Chains A and B, each alone.
Chain A
Amino acid sequence: MKELLIGNAAVARGLYDAGCKVISSYPGTPSTEITESFAKFDDAYCEWAPNEKVATEAAFGASLNGKRSSCCMKHVGLNVAADPLFTMSYTGINGGMVICVADDAGMHSSQNEQDSRHYAIASKIPMLEPSDSQEAYDFARAAFDISEEFDTPVLLKMCTRVAHSQSIVETREPLTDTDKEYLKLPQKYIMAPANAIRRHPFVEERTAKITELAETSPLNRVEEGDGSKDFGIITSSTSYQYVKEVFGDTVSVLKLGIINPLPIKLIKDFASKLNKVYVVEELDPIVESHCKNIGVDVVGKDIFSITGEFSQKTISKALGVEDKYSVKLDADIPVRPPMMCAGCPHRGMFYVLSKNKVTVLGDIGCYTLGSAAPLNALDMTLCMGASVSGIHGFNVAGGEETEKNTVCVIGDSTFMHSGVTGLINIAYNQSNSTVIILDNSITGMTGHQQNPTTGYSIKGDPAGKVNLEDLCHSIGINSVRVVDPYNLAECEKVLKEEMAKPEPSVIISRRPCVLLKYVKPKKPLHVNTEKCKSCKRCMKFGCPAISFKDNHAVVDPTLCVGCGVCEQLCAFDAFESEED
């Protein structure tokens, strides 16, 4: 059957058709839809785990017990999962195991631009890299075969463009009977030194064998051009599509699907027939360095950037193909950055923090947008959970001076992911830190995934539910307060009290994300122009529904959800609801 699928949905289908029975993941753009698509298959198990390390270990457990399994994450998620990753390389697998990781060149929705291929090399785990949805499907299936043939987990590397582009996929007959029996093999699965010492040589031999596979596998292929010996191109992933867009079938291309380990003879043979070889790869010079290490002279990062996303224009520009005519407007077009939605519950808390000039250590989620004008409320954003661990160090370093005017903010899902360990450190080592959990009852930024605090599973069924207040109390935080971020006066009062207390404290700022289906908007407000004194105080709030026209505030009724926070801000009662 032929279907138009995004790369992530194609991966999910490929995993499923290969007999994958268990997936455990943590959401992260651009990887989220793999797991969401897989959740639609009724006869396979699928879950959101609290973080990527937990997900990877859960998938490993399923593999150990004989099921084909997978875990999916974004590039920075692989940092969290790196601990099991490196040692799973030694143990190998029982049921096949595929780890899907999606890089984000261009940082469409990420805090850095790291290249996951380094992990494949460092952990000595094979990595496949598809260039469109058909390959995403095919490679997901092939990854399981390689996993079981060579006794190794396999990394399947996506990137934003392959993950989120739709192209036509032809699916094949699903596999059946992929389950294996559990066998107790202590020397293989107990990675204490005596056993691990024996497994390391196995890993090295395995890499040599998979290198042999890479020399002949159809996953790596040479596409002969029109016979010209001037130059050829070695490429992979989405870069392959850009190369073909520019040159079609006129240039010889070595298209790599197995990105670790890389072939040696195949590359040498390809290069030997050409006067010049270019390597086109996004981010770091992995293939380029390999070529140079094996004595093949190539040109790569001298002409292609190490930063950002490529396109056909990148290739044509670097290789001297003429630019296409394009319209150039001489107009100053204001940027349209993403922002917190009208009625976003985070905004009220950020307004209070900004107004009180509090130092705010931030975290990863929708609330990172609190850093934008006009609120400018954040001082730091590093990685998942770093706000809670970070405020402890910040207060240890600054003492009383910083303790009374510093907080950290972290969402409910991110707190479950890796904030709770930081809070345990605060409770254990008793820094006078104030932690604000922005509990909007969902994982917001990645598009509404359930998490351990919501009480629902990935399939929407009732599930276990972590009670945040109880959790904080039980790890030793005595002062735990809950506020409604739509109530500015309450937020400000509790904030000041908790920052002043000489003990660790948690404020749970609780209200569900306004985009959740069960949250019903109220009637939009309007401005009474006779009462509006044009003071622009409401403009400091950054609500996208409020603008300033003809010397008065104006509410856009298509955006306003009637949250009423602007009513609390206005000293002249100019915002009115229909009932007034």
Chain B
Amino acid sequence: METKNIMIVGVGGQGSLLASKLLGRLLVDEGYDVKVSEVHGMSQRGGSVVTYVRFGDKVYSPVIEDGEADFIVSFEKLEAARYADKLKKDGTVIVNTQQIDPMPVIIGAKTYPEDILDTMKEKGVHVDGIDALSLANEAGSSKACNIVLMGRLAKYFDIPVEKWQAAIEKCVKPQFVEINHKAFDLGYNC
């Protein structure tokens, strides 16, 4: 099979590491060759963060380049747009519709382009926007945004839901399994 490419993007501290850990675990269990690439360090301090997940029969490069991403899973609207040029034609953006102002906006040097998702739609991008923060709160923790989005992503794959749920059990501490299972279901079913 041709290599599939998923990007997970957001703001440092939003929990993209758990999302990529879950995906990696699931895809290895499914028997794929997998590469996951993230950059630690400076990018964590509230900066823009990006993780590449690639899987298939044989994966070489750990990074995703322009025009290669099948999916962008974004924890924030602006970050979805920042990486739009990585999308394949007909690629899909799954985006938490939350807005987090970057420092240039906070200090008034720049304005936040609030209609940015519409701009993407006009360019033919399939935008699947969900209020993941509210759903995460409904599940019991605002931190479960990442798993809500993974639930949404699961809709686009043929992998059975039980396999995703099993991967969650392997990736989070026992006391958080229930909240994350619920968050996954809410994302999957919304």
Contacts and interface: CB of A to CB of B under 8 A. Distances in A.
Contact of B86 (A29, A160, A238, A326): A326
Interface string B19-34: 0000011001000011
A244 to B, nearest CB: 4
Interface stretch (B38-46, B149-157, B158-166, B176-184): B38-46
A123 interface: no
Most buried by B among A4, A33, A374: A4
A468 interface: no
Interface string B139-157: 0001000000000000000
The 7 A-B pairs at the shortest CB distance, nearest first, are namely A324-B67, A109-B41, A338-B47, A326-B67, A29-B41, A165-B62, A336-B102
Main DSSP-derived SS at the A contact region:
loop
A29 B42 contact: yes
A334 B89 contact: no
A315 to B, nearest CB: 9
Interface in A89-125: 108-109
A544 B103 contact: yes
Contact of A326 (B42, B87, B101): B87
Contact of A325 (B62, B63, B67, B108): B67
A339 B120 CA distance: 28
B40 A334 contact: no
B66 A313 contact: yes
A543 to B, nearest CB: 8
A158 interface: no
Given A372-B103, A542-B103, A165 B78 contact: no
Interface string B110-123: 11110010011001
Interface in A1-45: 2, 4, 29-30, 32-33
Interface in A296-342: 311-313, 323-341
Given A109-B42, A539-B107, A312 B81 contact: no
A272 interface: no
Given A335-B104, A339-B103, A166 B48 contact: no
A331 B112 contact: no
The bracket for how many chain B residues form the interface is 35 or more
B43 A108 contact: yes
Contacts of A167: 33-36, 59, 62
Contacts of B1: none
Nearest to B59: A167
B28 A333 contact: no
Given A4-B28, A539-B106, 7 more contacts: A30-B39, A165-B36, A325-B67, A326-B66, A329-B120, A334-B78, A339-B47
Contacts of B60: 241-242, 244-245
28 contacts: A4-B24, A4-B25, A4-B34, A29-B42, A108-B42, A109-B41, A161-B37, A241-B61, A311-B65, A313-B65, A326-B87, A327-B85, A327-B91, A328-B85, A331-B119, A333-B116, A334-B102, A335-B48, A336-B11, A336-B78, A337-B102, A338-B42, A338-B43, A374-B107, A446-B41, A447-B41, A539-B106, A547-B105
A334 B105 contact: yes
B107 A333 contact: no
A548 interface: yes
Contact of B112 (A165, A326, A334, A558): A334
Interface string B55-85: 0000111110111100000000011011011
Contacts of B63: 161, 311-312
A445 interface: yes
A361 B145 CA distance: 40
A311 B85 CA distance: 15
A340 B13 CA distance: 12
Contacts of A313: 65-66
A164 B38 contact: yes
Nearest to A240: B60
A489 interface: no
A168 interface: yes
B130 interface: no
Given A326-B87, A332-B113, A546-B106, A340 B34 contact: no
Contacts of B33: 167-168
A366 B87 CA distance: 33
Given A245-B61, A311-B61, A323-B66, A548 B43 contact: no
B125 interface: yes
A116 to B, nearest CB: 18
Given A324-B65, A544-B46, A335 B35 contact: no
Contact of B84 (A30, A325, A329, A336): A329
B41 A30 contact: yes
A494 interface: no
A491 interface: no
Contact of A338 (B25, B45, B81): B45
Contacts of B86: 326
A407 interface: no
Given A164-B37, A165-B35, A547 B43 contact: no
A336 B81 CA distance: 12
Given A167-B62, A242-B60, A313-B66, A339 B25 contact: no
B32 to A, nearest CB: 9
B37 A331 contact: no
A331 B107 contact: no
A334 B110 contact: yes
Nearest to A28: B41
Most buried by A among B39, B110, B120: B39
Contact of B43 (A109, A372, A539): A109
Contacts of A536: 108
B40 A337 contact: no
Given A313-B66, A333-B78, A558-B142, A327 B125 contact: yes
Interface in A156-194: 160-161, 164-168
Interface string A129-165: 0001000000000000000000000000000110011
A164 B61 contact: no
Contacts of A546: 106
Nearest to A368: B42
Interface in B85-105: 85-89, 91, 101-105
Contacts of B65: 311-313, 324
A340 B102 contact: no
A337 B47 contact: yes
